[in-house]
Copies of this chain bind each other. A is one copy, B any other.
Amino acid sequence: MAETERARSGGMKWLTELVNEWRAAGQRIGIVPTMGALHQGHLSLVQAARAECERVVATVFVNPTQFAPTEDLAKYPRTLVADLEMLAAERVDAVLVPTEDEMYPPGFSTYVQPPEVSQKWEGAVRPSHFRGVATVVLKLLNMTRADVCYLGQKDYQQVAVVRRMVADLNVPCEIKMCPTVRDPDGLAMSSRNRYLSKDERQIGLSLSRTLFAAEKQIRSGAKNGPELSSWMREQLIASGVSQVDYAFAADADTLEPLTEVRLPLVLLMAARVGTTRLLDNLVVRQG
């Protein structure tokens, strides 16, 4: 892990040299972009990359441009020492931990204006969020010249935004979506779960429980999209969530709400438990 060690001191120049070496040798590069506070969900992405690519780069950067001024940038969990240990154990080839100034030097002023699929749901609740996500992901893909980028299904709309951006801008990188990893109780893993009190966590379980119950209803023949949506919302509220931002069945590609249930679809939801926002989703496929 000498290279991982170097990442912390050498910064971005070091990475460029390493990447140029790898490319010259014809090696396939996978990237796992993260904001740190790593959990098994992130590690599953690293493992997928490790299985498919000769070189794996993880990045750890709490990206300020994807947080609104009212959001939790300052208190977002930072656990760099533990993160680096976990990444070393997964045998990544390099970890890039850029500073804010390296990513956004004085005079920085170019952004990605993200695709239309960024406008709704998370984009409506968090207006400049996906602009920040699209911009930082494009920067990281360019910096690492990655062939494949691994993203978690937990942030389903994020994957849709990045996919469309990469297609629209002809970025020579493949986007792979890896399954959401859940705790044994069903809660989708998230760095923000550590904000939850014990009681809040119990309430938070209503998201996955409602998703799996809704899937059962669909398998049993439920056809009406808005009815399913109302039912999911009621389940969440009955379980004690503070606010439901959205909960509905959507077309798996466009993320438009479905009037009539047809597969494949994605059940998308976001709800607040206390002051913590939780996201979850479930793709329902034929058969």
Contacts and interface: CB of A to CB of B under 8 A. Distances in A.
Given A107-B164, A109-B116, A139-B168, 12 more contacts: A16-B172, A107-B116, A109-B115, A110-B113, A110-B114, A110-B165, A110-B169, A111-B113, A112-B112, A112-B169, A113-B113, A145-B172
Contacts of A114: 110
A211 to B, nearest CB: 28
Give the interface size bracket for A toward B: 20 to 34
A59 to B, nearest CB: 12
Nearest to A117: B109
Interface string A19-44: 00001101000000000000000000
A247 interface: no
A171 B116 CA distance: 23
Nearest to A170: B142
Nearest to A253: B107
In this complex, the member of A131, A134, A138 whose beta carbon has the largest number of chain B beta carbons within 10 angstroms is A138
A62 B16 CA distance: 34
Contacts of A26: 24
Contacts of A131: 113
A107 B165 CA distance: 11
A116 B108 CA distance: 8
A242 to B, nearest CB: 33
A113 B107 CA distance: 14
Contacts of A112: 110-113, 169
Contacts of A111: 112-113
A259 to B, nearest CB: 21
Contacts of A139: 168-170
Interface in A102-127: 107-117
Given A24-B26, A26-B24, A142 B113 contact: no
A143 interface: yes
Interface in A154-187: 164-165, 168-172
Q: Which 4 A-B pairs have the closest CB atoms?
A: A110-B168, A142-B170, A109-B116, A109-B115
B110 A134 contact: yes
Interface in A125-150: 131, 134-135, 138-139, 142-143, 145
